[in-house]
Amino acid sequence: IRDSRAEIVDALYPIIGQIVMKAVTEAIRDLARTIDERVHTALDFQNLWRRVKSWLTGVPEGELALREALPFAVQEIFLIHRESGLLLWHGSRDETGERDPDLVSGMLTAIRDFAQEVMGGQEEDALDELHFGPQLIVMEFARYTYVAAVCRGVPPVHFRAELRRRLYAFDGDAHEDLRQFDGNVQALAQPASSHFQPLLGEE
C-alpha cells in the first residue's frame, strides 16, 4: 500500500469527490426543506416581523430566514493555559457528553502549535477558528490563556468580540494565579465559570 500510495489516491479521488458532492447536495436539500417548513408553518405575525426587521436592518429577508433555520448556540467552552496546554475549565450544555475535555484541550493545543510552526512562529494567534463537521470552534487568545468555544449555527457578529472581552476580563481577574500557575486549576474554576458559563445559556 505504501508503494502504491499515488495509484490508490488517484483511484479513490473521484469516488470521494462523488461522496462529498452527494453529502453537500443532501445537506442543501435538508436546509431548503427546513426553511420551507418554517416559512409555511410560521404565524403571519412572525412573517410580518421578519419583513419589518429586514427593512430596519437592511438584511435581506431570506438571510433572516436562513439564520432562523440555523439557530446559533454555544455547545462547549474550553479554557486552556497557553504555556502548559492544561485545561483550566470546561463547560458544556450536555453534562452527560462522552467527550473527554482533557483530550480535546490537548488536541486543540497540538493543532495550535502545528499552525504556529507552519506560520514560522510569526503569527502564533493566526489560527482563530476550526471547522469540525457541522460544528465551528471559535478561538481567542489572551496573555496567559486561550478559549475555544464549540458552536453550532452561524455566530452573530458580536460573538467573537464578546468571547474576547470575557477572556480578557478573566485573565485580568485571575492575573496573580495565572502568573504563578503551578498546575492547580481549582482556584480558577469559580472565576472561569462566572465569566464563561453565561455563554452556554445564550441562543
Q: Tell me the domains of the chain and their CATH numbers.
A: 5-69 (no CATH), 73-201 (3.30.450.70)
| pLDDT digits 0-9 by tens, 106-162 | 888 787 777 667 666 554 555 788 887 778 899 999 999 999 999 988 888 889 999
- Please name every residue paired with 77 in a beta bridge, in sequence order, or none if there are none: 91, 149
**What pLDDT, on a 0 to 100 scale, did the predictor assign at position 165?**
96
Question: What's the pLDDT score for residue 144?
Answer: 93
The reported pLDDT for the residue numbered 42 is 55
Cell of 43: 404565524
- Which segments in the chain show pLDDT lower than 50? 1, 123
Strands 73-81 and 145-152, by their bridges, are: antiparallel
Alpha-carbon span 120 to 140, nearest angstrom = 20
CB 202 within 8 A of CB 74: yes
The per-residue pLDDT for 32 is: 62
Which grid cell sits at 88?
Answer: 483550566
Model pLDDT, residue 150: 92
Non-local (6+) Cβ contacts of 196 within 8 A are 77, 79, 89, 91, 147, 166, 170
Q: Determine contact, residues 139/129, Cβ cutoff 8 Å.
A: yes
CB contact at 8 A, 89 and 189: yes
Q: Given this model, what pLDDT does residue 41 score?
A: 56
Residues 138, 159 contacting (CB under 8 angstroms): yes
Whole-number pLDDT of residue 122:
53
Per-residue pLDDT, 1: 46
Rounded-to-integer distance, Cα 47 and Cα 70, Å: 17
Element (DSSP H or E) covering residue 75: strand 73-81
